[in-house]
Amino acid sequence: MLGRATLLAVMLATPAFATPPLSADQKGYLTANTIGIFYHELAHAIIDLYDIPIRVKEEDAADTFSVLLVDYGFDDASGESIANDIAFTFSVDGETSRHFFWDQHSSDGKRAENTICMFAGGDIDGRADLAEDWGMSTRKLEACEEERILADEFWAPFLDEMTNENKSKKHVKFSNQKLGKFPAAKVYTAAVQDEVREINIWLRLPKPLSVRVESCGEANAYYDPEEISIVMCTEYAEYLVKQVE
Ligand SMILES: [Zn+2]
């Protein structure tokens, strides 16, 4: 049996108590993917609350909407880096066959391709290198331009409708569970909070949406239509940083 002093020393030496700080690459990658998955869940909320008629699989529409928000909200270089990191996560998920919450989604390879297609399709000259890095042919890239135009046209009237004229009213409420000093959870929480702040500047919703960052016991993120809430599980942050070790 361990004495109290020895037990304390063992506890202090366990990884949970000595989580190393994140590298700059890990932080960037985690933030990019947090934005991507948050926008994806936000798309589910918007589709539900505005009853948007989706003619494709809702999961694919949510992926596309997520890329559009990245492209509309960030400068070119940041947007490209975020799109690239999101696609990379899908490709890693595909390789390791880790389907946490992707049951309804297209295959991960297809999701990576769709992400790059939608982003590069927004500027096929300026983003030709990105498309080439992902093995996309010129012909495919031209088809992506067409797909992107259709996506922009589809979402434009809804985005108009969603624009908040009453700037003082916030439609999205953020909350988070206190989780101590875990670096990944901290970066993840801050990224979600930043995005909620950003979208509250422009987004109007028919009903208030709550966004919660909390531990759920699994690497997941989901929209709950009963509660009208998005839950972003901190376990997902831990999963993401492991991809950049
Ligand atoms: Zn989804």
User: What pLDDT, on a 0 to 100 scale, did the predictor assign at position 144?
Assistant: 97
Backbone angles phi, psi at 239, to 5 degrees: -60, -45
Ligand 1 ion local residues (Cβ < 5 A): 59, 62
CA of 35 to the centre of ligand 1 (A): 14
User: First-to-last CA distance in the chain?
Assistant: 36
Domain boundaries of the chain, sorted by first residue: 23-244
CA of 44 to the centre of ligand 1 (A): 7
CA of 100 to the centre of ligand 1 (A): 11
User: What pLDDT, on a 0 to 100 scale, did the predictor assign at position 102?
Assistant: 41
Note whether 134 and 85 are within 8 A (CB): no
User: What pLDDT, on a 0 to 100 scale, did the predictor assign at position 166?
Assistant: 76
CA of 221 to the centre of ligand 1 (A): 8
Residue 18 to residues 15, 114, 238: CA-CA distances in angstroms?
A: 5, 39, 14
CA of 102 to the centre of ligand 1 (A): 7
The first and second tokens of residue 149, run together, are 């135009």
CA of 41 to the centre of ligand 1 (A): 6
CA of 233 to the centre of ligand 1 (A): 14
Query: How many whole angstroms separate alpha carbon 60 and alpha carbon 12?
Result: 45
User: What pLDDT, on a 0 to 100 scale, did the predictor assign at position 99?
Assistant: 43
CA of 61 to the centre of ligand 1 (A): 9
CA of 97 to the centre of ligand 1 (A): 17
User: What pLDDT, on a 0 to 100 scale, did the predictor assign at position 96?
Assistant: 53
pTM value is 0.87
Per-residue pLDDT tens listing for the chain (245 residues):
334 443 344 344 444 445 778 999 999 999 999 999 999 999 999 999 999 999 899 999 999 999 999 999 999 999 999 999 999 998 886 655 444 444 456 677 889 999 999 999 999 999 999 999 999 999 999 999 999 999 999 999 999 999 988 777 889 999 998 877 789 999 999 999 999 999 999 999 999 999 999 999 999 999 999 999 999 999 999 999 988 87
Query: How many whole angstroms separate alpha carbon 61 and alpha carbon 58?
Result: 5
CA of 222 to the centre of ligand 1 (A): 7
CA of 3 to the centre of ligand 1 (A): 49
Query: How many whole angstroms separate alpha carbon 33 and alpha carbon 36?
Result: 5
User: What pLDDT, on a 0 to 100 scale, did the predictor assign at position 164?
Assistant: 82
In 3D space, the residue among 198, 153, 199 whose CA is nearest the CA of residue 46 turns out to be: 199
